[in-house]
Amino acid sequence: MSEELKLVFAGSMGAGKTTAIRAISEIAPITTEASNTDHTEFDKEETTVAMDYGEITLATGEKLRLYGTPGQARFGFMWPILAAGALGAIILIDNSRPDPLADLEVYLGAFRPLADAGAAVVGVGRMDRYPQPSLEAYAERLGELDIVVPVMPTDVRRRDDVLEVLEVLLQQIEATCGDGTIGEDTGADRGAPGVVL
């Protein structure tokens, strides 16, 4: 493999980045969890302070490296470091947070170059219990930001949901590249293009 193939999972603390990577990684994920000292942001015991890391194999045999960013803005200096050279980004939004549309703006703003290149997908979690804002509201906000990326409901605990988001992202990237370099075997019978399951 001549170059590293990597994707970034980004979003607020508690949006499910670690869980999503754990759901699809073929290796035991490497995490940098530490005790959460900011319970005003999110009431959870641990939070990612540097990155999460996992891997999944593409149909070409190449390893797709999965990096999860820390969610808290105070660790935002890690976001461009982890995004450098990434094929794309999966932005996870927690619909139970006080202002998930504001979260959308923060994280898409941080990963705007990938979004503008058509190499991003937004996965909205906890919509089963918190149906508002709706997917239509997200689409409207994206229109206001002049960003065109897919938005879909995503339960990061479900491997199939995470693979579906990954499938959509890989299709976006392939359409942008136009050269079929990412997983030439579409893998449609296995649930995600270019991914060996």
pLDDT tens, position by position, 57-84: 988 888 999 999 988 777 778 788 888 9
Name 62's Cβ contacts closer than 8 Å, sequence gap at least 6.
Answer: 1, 5
Of 116, 110, 101, the residue nearest 176 (C-alpha): 116
Q: Judge whether 17 lies within some domain.
A: yes
Name 144's Cβ contacts closer than 8 Å, sequence gap at least 6.
Answer: none
Q: Judge whether 58 lies within some domain.
A: yes
Q: How many domains does the chain have?
A: 1
Tokens of 106: 């923060």
Percentage with pLDDT > 90 across the chain: 61
CATH of the domain at 97: 3.40.50.300
Q: Judge whether 112 lies within some domain.
A: yes
Where does the pLDDT of residue 119 fall: very low under 50, low under 70, confident under 90, or very high at 90 and above?
A: very high
Q: For residue 41, which amino acid is it?
A: E
Percentage with pLDDT > 70 across the chain: 78
Q: Which of 36-50, 72-86, 91-105, 127-141 has the lowest mean pLDDT?
A: 36-50
Q: Which of 82-86, 104-108, 135-139, 155-159 has the lowest mean pLDDT?
A: 82-86
Q: Judge whether 59 lies within some domain.
A: yes
| Higher pLDDT among residues 75 and 56, named by residue | 56
Contact 118, 85 (CB under 8 A): no
Query: Which range marks the domain in which residue 134 is found?
Result: 5-190
Q: Which pLDDT value is given to residue 176?
A: 80
| Higher pLDDT among residues 45 and 103, named by residue | 103
Where does the pLDDT of residue 166 fall: very low under 50, low under 70, confident under 90, or very high at 90 and above?
A: very high
The overall average pLDDT reported for the chain is 83
Q: Judge whether 107 lies within some domain.
A: yes
Q: Which pLDDT value is given to residue 33?
A: 57
- Give pTM, 2 decimals: 0.81
Q: Judge whether 196 lies within some domain.
A: no
Of 43, 51, 42, the residue nearest 76 (C-alpha): 51
Where does the pLDDT of residue 118 fall: very low under 50, low under 70, confident under 90, or very high at 90 and above?
A: very high
Convert 62-75 to b/e letters by CB count within 10 Å (16 or more is b): bbbbbbbbbbbeeb
Q: Which pLDDT value is given to residue 51?
A: 78
Q: Judge whether 91 lies within some domain.
A: yes
| Higher pLDDT among residues 38 and 92, named by residue | 92
Phi, psi at 187, each rounded to 5°:
65, 20
Q: Judge whether 162 lies within some domain.
A: yes
How many residues make up the chain in this entry? 197
